[in-house]
């Protein structure tokens, strides 16, 4: 009977495509928007993956990784003296102006690394040697900075190792090129030593942006972070804590999640509306046939099962098409990384569940109608 | 309450009265069926205490003026409509004593349906349409389709199993409906105006098929009709008027009734 149920629906080409199309559109909207949202959210924490520190110590009011408030230089020693801390190093981070070939300014994300350890260095060097950051006036740039030809000296080509440009009127010589994940603000990364970074940056009373720390072997990271907070009054995060705090901050302080959520809910509602409507009219048009089946002894349960089955099958097909389109979109934008796109298996199952809920709701209207149907109607002209 | 029965023409032999006998051959028995539709101004009493009976091996026509309650009575007898009062017995089972789902199961197993508008599912092939009652009774698809194809052959549609109903004429569609109604060997076959959408030649072919079907042992065929051309196929005719069965004709009374109806 279920096979016949499927044929009944497939026989109605117009309705079938309307249902599949509606569901494909709805799944596309939900999955694509969700993936872009996930991508955006991953941008908000990309900074942590570019730096890879175990414990992040910041000024007590800082809530997220893309923000820093300067601390006193003495804070570094206070952190170092906390029990369980293996080592702690200073970090400078700030958005500075680099001079482009045509004389205008370009914003860059300046990172000053502790020159002794280079702790917080980017995960992958493409060219050059990060150790050369210890030489005066040297920087390592990421590929985004490299490709930004405006930074070069008017050569109209990407920057290379050995090229020179200016940051705040000071010479910066490229000694290496690294791979980074795009920063939330979208500025290219420029790494230098901590002391060098202070020279590039306009002079201020307090210059220490963050302290990166590592727990002693055998110590629990979260516990050490807790100790740092208790003993210094500064704020210390482990990686998962800072990630969570950063995402919470985005939820509380930007309209991004709400606007994406709205679109996703809209996709769901459109799905329910289009499918519910189409499926219901399919049921109405087949009322005589369903009545005949009922007269011939099909129980309400069987008919409900058949309608549900029909709805679920179009749901799966529509979802398949929608997720296919989303994947296509993802592959298309993967090259440029704009807009950000991030999908995972759990999310595929969640959106599949959402689509099946849409289908179940659509079928439910029809099932209610059929349950109330008097089989005797088939005798009426 | 019993209804006094009058014959159409007192000069003709008297119609057999509606009595409940306990003979083993009683297929359908109904007593005192009342059915009311709607409430208030829209209230219609479609059946006003109708009595009815039919025997096994019988092709039984139910006739009467439009609106007298024929379709309603047939629906109650088939268990597709519940009555407000009265009792229905089918082959020794008290239908009125069963739960809704038991009635559904009973219909599924023991009743075949033929509708005026054929009601074949347009997107399914002939063999799929015919196999539906078997599938509803739990048969496997291959089995069901093999039996369905055999039935289609019996109604003269061999080789057209994979066609769609829309590719057939009305008469051919009604044959498919007959194949579907008989495929699961039901004991009761219910037909509402099976010939009224057909021309008279096709109507006769359909009636031939149905009267052959009625001869199967233990089976009863009930037909509601307006069509005097097919009265000749009847073993018995129940005449309805205003919500009741008023006359039943069989034997000699039947011949003269048919004669008088066909003349008028
Ligand atoms: N579902 C319903 N709701 C309201 N009234 C109904 C319903 N079904 C039947 N009736 C009324 O009950 C009465 C008997 O109807 P029924 O269809 O049984 O007559 P019939 O003898 O089959 O007529 P016809 O020969 O025109 O088919 C009619 O007055 C009809 O209007
Ligand atoms: Mg009728």
Query: Across-strand partners of A97?
Result: A107
In this model, does residue B41 exceed pLDDT 80? yes
Burial profile A51-80: b = 16 or more Cβ within 10 angstroms, e = fewer: bebebbbbbeebebbbebebbeeebbebbe
List the structure tokens of A153: 């000296």
Task: Please work out whether the CB of residue B71 comes within 6 Å of at least one atom of ligand 1.
Answer: yes
Q: Average pLDDT of chain B?
A: 88
Instruction: Ligand 1, residue B38: give the atom nearest the CA.
Output: 4
Give the per-residue pLDDT at B13. 39
- Average pLDDT for chain A: 91
Residue B202: is its pLDDT beyond 50?
yes
Whether cis (ω within 30° of 0) applies to the bond prior to A108 is no
pLDDT tens, position by position, A157-183: 788 899 888 899 899 999 999 999 989
In terms of CA atoms, which chain A residue is nearest residue B100? A299
Q: How far is CA A310 from CA A2, A20, A288, A320, B132, in A?
A: 8, 11, 18, 16, 17
Estimate to the nearest angstrom the gap between the alpha carbon of A145 and the chain centroid. 22
Joined together, the tokens standing for residue A209 give 């942006």
* B243 CA: nearest ligand 1 atom: 14
On whether any CB of chain B is under 8 Å from the CB of A372, the answer is no
In the sheet that B93-94 helps form, which strands lie side by side, from edge to edge?
A: B44-55, B26-37, B85-90, B93-94
Q: What is the pLDDT of residues A134-143, one digit of tens each?
A: 999 999 999 9
Categorize the per-residue pLDDT at A345 as very low, low, confident or very high, splitting at 50, 70 and 90: confident
CA dihedral B135, B137, B142, B146 (to 10 degrees): -100
Average pLDDT over residues B13-23: 41
Please say if the pLDDT value at position B15 is more than 50: no
In the predicted model, is pLDDT for residue B12 greater than 50?
A: no
Residues of A in contact with B117 (CB under 8 A): 288, 381
Q: Which residues of B touch A292 (CB under 8 A)?
A: 113, 115, 119, 121
Give the distance from residue B217's alpha carbon to the nearest chain A alpha carbon, in angstroms: 21
pLDDT, tens only, A96-124? 999 876 777 889 999 999 999 999 999 99
pLDDT band with cut points at 50, 70 and 90 for residue B6: very low
Q: For residue B119, give the nearest of A3, A8, A289 by CB distance.
A: A289
SS3 sequence, A267-287? HHHHHHHHHHHHHHHHHHHCH
Q: Is the pLDDT of residue A148 over 80?
A: no
- Measuring from atom 14 of ligand 1, which residue has the nearest CA? B69
Tens digits of per-residue pLDDT, A9-54? 888 899 999 999 999 999 999 999 999 998 888 899 999 999 999 9
> What confidence tens digit (pLDDT) does each residue in B154-191 have?
999 999 999 999 999 999 999 999 999 999 999 999 99
Joined together, the tokens standing for residue A94 give: 């700030």
pLDDT score, position B60? 96
Q: Rounded CA gap, B155 and B180, in Å?
A: 10
Expressed in angstroms and rounded, the spacing between residue B46 Cα and the centre of ligand 1 is 6
Whether residue B14 lies within 8 A of chain A, CB to CB, comes out as no
A-B Cβ pairs (cutoff 8 Å, strict) = 81
């Amino acid at each position: 009977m279920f096979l016949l149920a499927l044929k009944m629906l497939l026989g109605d080409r117009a309705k079938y495509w309307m249902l599949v199309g509606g569901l494909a559109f709805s799944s596309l909207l939900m999955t694509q928007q969700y993936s872009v949202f996930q991508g955006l959210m991953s941008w908000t924490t990309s900074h942590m993956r570019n730096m890879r520190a175990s414990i992040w110590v910041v000024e007590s009011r800082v809530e997220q990784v893309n923000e820093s408030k300067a601390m006193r230089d003495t804070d570094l020693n206070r952190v170092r003296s906390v029990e369980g801390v293996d080592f702690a190093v200073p970090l400078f981070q700030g958005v500075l102006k680099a001079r482009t070939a045509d004389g205008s300014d370009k914003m860059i994300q300046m990172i000053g690394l502790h020159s002794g350890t280079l702790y917080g260095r980017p995960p992958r060097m493409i060219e050059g040697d990060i150790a050369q950051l210890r030489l005066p006036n040297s920087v390592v740039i990421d590929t985004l900075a490299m490709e930004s030809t405006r930074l070069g000296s008017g050569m109209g080509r990407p920057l290379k190792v050995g090229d020179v440009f200016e940051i705040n009127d000071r010479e910066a010589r490229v000694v290496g090129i690294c791979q980074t994940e795009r920063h939330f603000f979208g500025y290219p990364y420029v790494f230098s030593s901590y002391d060098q970074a202070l020279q590039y940056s306009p002079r201020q009373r307090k210059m220490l942006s963050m302290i990166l720390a590592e727990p002693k072997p055998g110590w629990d990271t979260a516990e050490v972070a807790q100790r740092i907070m208790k003993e210094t009054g500064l704020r210390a995060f482990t990686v998962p804590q800072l990630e969570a705090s950063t995402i919470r901050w985005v939820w509380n302080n930007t309209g991004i999640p709400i606007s994406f959520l709205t679109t996703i809910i809209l996709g769901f509602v459109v799905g329910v509306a289009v499918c519910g409507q189409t499926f219901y009219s399919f049921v109405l048009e087949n009322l005589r046939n369903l009545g005949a089946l009922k007269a011939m002894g099909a129980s309400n349960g069987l008919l409900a099962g058949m309608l549900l089955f029909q709805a679920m099958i179009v749901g799966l097909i529509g979802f398949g098409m929608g997720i296919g389109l989303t994947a296509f979109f993802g592959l298309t934008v993967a090259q440029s990384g704009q807009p950000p796109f991030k999908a995972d298996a759990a999310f595929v199952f969640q959106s599949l569940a959402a689509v099946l809920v849409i289908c179940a709701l659509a079928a439910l209207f029809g099932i209610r109608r059929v349950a109330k149907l008097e089989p005797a109607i088939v005798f009426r002209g | 309450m019993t209804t006094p029965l009058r014959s159409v023409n007192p000069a003709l032999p008297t119609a057999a009265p509606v009595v409940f006998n306990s003979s083993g051959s009683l297929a359908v028995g109904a007593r005192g069926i009342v059915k009311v539709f709607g409430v208030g101004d829209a209230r219609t009493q479609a059946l006003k205490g109708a009595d009815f009976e039919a025997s096994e091996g019988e092709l039984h026509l139910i006739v009467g003026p439009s609106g007298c309650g024929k379709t309603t009575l047939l629906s109650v007898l088939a268990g597709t409509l519940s009555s407000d009062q009265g009792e229905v017995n089918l082959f020794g089972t008290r239908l009125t004593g069963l739960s809704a789902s038991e009635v559904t199961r009973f219909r599924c197993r023991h009743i075949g349906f033929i509708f005026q508008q054929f009601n074949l599912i347009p997107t399914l092939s002939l063999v799929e349409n015919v196999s539906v009652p078997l599938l509803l009774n739990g048969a496997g698809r291959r089995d069901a389709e093999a039996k369905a194809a055999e039935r289609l052959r019996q109604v003269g549609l061999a080789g057209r199993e994979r066609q769609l109903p829309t590719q057939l004429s009305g008469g051919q569609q009604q044959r498919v409906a007959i194949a579907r109604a008989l495929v699961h060997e039901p004991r009761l076959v219910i037909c509402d105006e099976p010939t009224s959408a057909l021309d008279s030649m096709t109507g006769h072919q359909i009636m031939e098929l149905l009267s052959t079907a009625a001869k199967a042992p233990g089976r009863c065929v009930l037909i509601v009709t307006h069509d005097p051309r097919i009265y000749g196929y009847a073993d018995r005719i129940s005449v309805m008027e205003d919500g009741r069965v008023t006359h039943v004709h069989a034997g000699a009374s039947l011949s003269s009734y048919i004669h008088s109806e066909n003349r008028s």
